[in-house]
Amino acid sequence: MPRRLRPLSQPVWHAPRYGGPVPARVAVVLGGAGLLLTACGTDPATAAQVAAEAERVLEQRTGVAADVTCPEELPPEAGAELRCVLVPDGEAVEYGVTVTVTAVDDDVLDLDVQVDDEPSG
């Protein structure tokens, strides 16, 4: 059966000094309608799948589009972490993102996504 990623909570955004949307601390489990992965229960979620679902969920919940990139697969193990990068559309800043598997239930990964408070570099 395909694997789904499902959301935990709403992300929080604030308007920074320069007027554009900046992600604040975000707690999100990716999925909403559900990202169905073609993997078996022990196969990881690909970097592209995790990034695409993060983009979709963040835009749906905040109204702000962003580009998320992840460097590698995310293993289906509770506690597994992956560092990704988020760039809000129209902005020249990057934010670090930590994606953590909080639970694995057959074909469903529960993920917590934390966006760094400050831009990187």
Domain definitions of the chain by residue range: 4-115
Q: Please tell me the predicted confidence (pLDDT) of residue 84.
A: 93
β-strands 22-26, 11-14 pairing: antiparallel
Distance CA 111, CA 94 (A): 21
pLDDT tens for each residue of 2-57: 456 555 444 443 333 323 333 333 333 333 323 444 445 568 888 998 888 778 77
The closest of 99, 107, 102, 89 to 22, measured between CA atoms, is: 89
Q: Please tell me the predicted confidence (pLDDT) of residue 70.
A: 96
Q: What is the pTM of this model?
A: 0.68
% the chain with pLDDT above 90: 18
Per the rule left: phi > 0, alpha: psi between -120 and 50, beta: everything else, 62 is: alpha
The sign one gets for the Cα dihedral 8, 53, 79, 76 is positive
